[in-house]
Structure 1
């Protein structure tokens, strides 16, 4: 099977349009359709239903779509390693939970680049479960996640701690210390639950005989910057990773609100395949990362 067929299929399924993918790939629609048809022929199943409105995945197409991205990325990683001229210089791929990748690791990466200038680096955000899977499948070399990995075939090392804090605008009408039950008095802007904030909140509310519906949630957002801007504009208060608001705290644009009977803290762990030791270059990189990370998180 031509890996390119699978790559085009994944892009078409993601965009829902053959014409859009053909335009971005600079090939004709008919050529792209033929490649997808060849993939369907090889696999023996119809993968896409085509219409004037675009394309939709069939039941078999959904199964192929589930695996296609990882297959393509694994293939590309293999080709990349084959093309390396110098085994002492490689492209090191790192995936981290979005707040760690965005706010904690840039300072570490600067230090690492100075130590290993011949390597190139990719730092991408992802979700914990997918990071574990991608490390095991060699799609990325290392990961940084909250809490210890679930997969027992991964090695892990604690590099630091982050906490989720409640903040308001410095001018917002709220005390700098409240009880947990006081949360229901204020409008909340929340991150979509990439940080697993809702579990401890829900548990604490049950303990106090309250329900999530008692909270005045204005909206949920995928973006920490969106939540931060809403809080700065005094639309309400919000929970954010401490690393994401240090600048605003220093400039006194935001104020920390201590919840007397509640806190959310997460350990951060570097994870990698236990076979990393067999690769001298990668093992040296991982050991240096471990030695400097705690003191150099942004």
Structure 2
């Protein structure tokens, strides 16, 4: 038995369902169920009545709940009392990220961590999502900020930090500028300027077009959003980009249209489930988890 298992048990009872507890704890429901089953096997009792749709405690579960509340209270109390005696963290921390740190306030997140742990030197590798995935699987990096659209959720733990949506970006004098929203089918004859194939956005756009039964008319691709925005403003074509990202550049010569059927994307801090984190990586993971659990209260 460990403190995490007790915490998981407590959250299931508190929130009334395995699925809500898994979402709150940023783990998969299957992982949560396995940890609870392991706890029940160790205690040799059933804690939950699984014959009902709602979460109901067995008699043994009710007894264990009273102990779990005391244990979690004491654990938090111990942590608070020992905080002033903790050894300052030092060393290095490597994080990989797609190049949208400012647009999604990742810079502020890292700055907040540095204020708490000034002795940790943080090295940031900004690159595209395909390169990040390779580096995670090769254990070159353990932590990364990236879009979750195409990662295997059974293999990764994630902490969602921001949700964004795909928008259509056009020159201000484009015929679409009079619209309030646009269906993706309406762009099938338009010349598209997209982020390159190593970016997650390229795959999201191409997949969306194919789902709408047409091949996108890609004029060319580029690695830099600023260049794409400049080309759109010059009337060279249109693009599909993430709304928060393109609005960050605040270019007055382009018009941003929402899709009538939204296509969303989540930015998250991710790690492979099997990956063991260093002490500094654990500090950062726990820090981000705590920041966003407070925001969701």
Given the two structures, how large is their TM-score scaled by the length of structure 2? 0.57
| 2:103 corresponding residue in structure 1 | 103
Displacement of 1:279 in angstroms is 4.0
| 2:187 corresponding residue in structure 1 | 183
Displacement of 1:101 in angstroms is 4.1
- The 3 A distance-change label for structure 1 pair 281 and 97 is closer
- The 3 A distance-change label for structure 1 pair 258 and 129 is closer
| 1-structure distance, mates of 2:88, 2:116 | 17
| 1:168 corresponding residue in structure 2 | 170
Alignment check: 8 A CA contact 1:191 1:222 kept: yes
- The correspondence of residues 1-298 of structure 1 with structure 2, limited to 5 A, is 88-98=89-99, 100-101=100-101, 103-104=103-104, 105-147=106-148, 149-150=151-152, 152=154, 154-174=156-176, 175-176=178-179, 177-193=181-197, 194=199, 195=201, 196=203, 197-204=205-212, 206=213, 210-212=214-216, 215=217, 217-249=218-250, 252-260=252-260, 262-274=261-273, 279-292=278-291
Alignment check: 8 A CA contact 1:94 1:122 kept: yes
Instruction: Output one character per residue of 1:59-113: Cα deviation in whole Å (capped at 9) or x when no partner.
Output: xxxxxxxxxxxxxxxxxxxxxxxxxxx9821221111233x34632223222222
- The 3 A distance-change label for structure 1 pair 272 and 218 is closer
Q: Which runs of 5+ in 2 are unaligned?
A: 1-86
- The 3 A distance-change label for structure 1 pair 151 and 239 is closer
Alignment check: 8 A CA contact 1:94 1:123 kept: yes
Displacement of 1:173 in angstroms is 3.7
SS of alignment partner, residue 187 of structure 2: helix
Displacement of 1:147 in angstroms is 1.6
- The 3 A distance-change label for structure 1 pair 124 and 277 is closer
Alignment check: 8 A CA contact 1:168 1:236 kept: yes
- The 3 A distance-change label for structure 1 pair 224 and 248 is closer
SS of alignment partner, residue 103 of structure 2: helix
Displacement of 1:121 in angstroms is 1.3
Alignment check: 8 A CA contact 1:132 1:151 kept: no
| 2-structure distance, mates of 1:291, 1:121 | 19
CA RMSD of aligned residues (A): 3.1
Given the two structures, how large is their TM-score scaled by the length of structure 1? 0.57
Alignment check: 8 A CA contact 1:276 1:283 kept: no
Structure 1's consecutive aligned runs of 4 or more residues displaced over 6 angstroms after TM superposition are 275-278
Query: What is the total number of aligned residue pairs between the two structures?
Result: 201
